[in-house]
Chain A
């Protein structure tokens, strides 16, 4: 007589298994993957309820929503991976409105053939990031595309948060005379990624700075509720972020090269590749603009927080009909810090 166990379901083979088209069909295989991987890792009441959506009470204040797609390659890099990057990135977008992030939704587009071991690693990394940030992933979706139609995995995260009434932080609020503050050293994420790109390989101990900034933002808004602007300088780096704010606020800026914090190794890597660190991506830093009077108090609050230890005032907002962002070079002259042109490719010339 056979000893078939009636409830037995063979568990997903995370060691050797790969994503295949059945995982995206919406049937048993999908449900099993969702259950054994996502629900188990993210582990919260909403996912355990097993619905297609999550419900919660409306919190007081103004609602803030942000979303980001993540297509980083390589998927795993020094200091992080696409998973925790996806969690941090959206938490940060919500936080830049001065909001407390509350919940995340995540969608996964998986490529047929993608190793389940890698997927598990990524999802567990996301879960850890979400747990450490105190922001649960409460709902999501999974689809599978044929081999060759996706780069392993693409992740989109959407975040929801609340900002208290009376806090208005926006890109058009910079005013002449305001101080420009950065929360720490720049260029680390971009350099960490580039160090892995084929044909550019160089060895460095630089790690991505990917981090959730909502705790830092809460401390900053607590100390200076009237802070004018907050933004995280991701793709395109500090230079792009400053140009964006200058355009929105219709003003100019002047920053000082010697005050912009950059670690020696990052500067050296940029030197090697002919890159300008002002244009290199960051994933755990922010730019704040506040009145000159508020700046010292803001700086103090930032430096007291673990993610703001190297915070520094780097320049001032000025009146300028051309909305130029300029820099006083360490050398003594002045130059434009323009918008990024195309993609920043390593310069050999």
Chain B
């Protein structure tokens, strides 16, 4: 029961609220479970709450790893 998706923060209208964007679809979510989120960050969103920030550097490394494994 863990359907959560990575979403880009586009607006911070109030404390603890973010407007996020996934592929052009926008929604308001709660930031009550995370700290230090800025516009432009990516967060993982589950049932209307951001659970964590997505680490862009780790994401890039993971993709490189897939390519590397496949090429070996």
Chain B residues with a Cβ under 8 A of chain A: 1-3, 5, 22-27, 47
* Residues A272 and B22 in contact in the complex (CB < 8 Å), given A202-B27, A203-B27, A348-B47: yes
List, in ascending order, chain B residues with CB within 8 A of A205's CB: 24
Additional A-B contact list (20), CB under 8 Å, known A268-B25, A271-B5, A274-B3: A202-B25, A203-B26, A203-B27, A204-B25, A204-B26, A205-B24, A206-B25, A264-B23, A265-B24, A265-B25, A268-B22, A268-B24, A269-B23, A269-B25, A272-B22, A272-B27, A347-B3, A348-B47, A349-B1, A349-B3
List, in ascending order, chain B residues with CB within 8 A of A203's CB: 25-27
For chain A, give the interface size range.
10 to 19
A65 at interface (Cβ–Cβ under 8 A)? no
Q: For B2, B5, B23, which residue has the most chain A Cβ atoms within 10 angstroms?
A: B23
Chain A residues with a Cβ under 8 A of chain B: 201-206, 264-265, 267-269, 271-272, 274, 347-349
Q: Is the CB of A272 within 8 A of B5?
A: yes
User: Nearest residue in B to A195 (C-beta to C-beta)?
Assistant: B25
Measured CB to CB, the closest approach of chain B to A78, in angstroms, equals 13
Bound CA–CA A6/B5 (angstroms): 69
Bound CA–CA A267/B22 (angstroms): 10
Bound CA–CA A349/B47 (angstroms): 9
Listed from nearest, the 8 A-B pairs whose CB atoms lie closest are: A268-B23, A349-B1, A203-B26, A265-B24, A202-B27, A268-B25, A268-B22, A204-B25
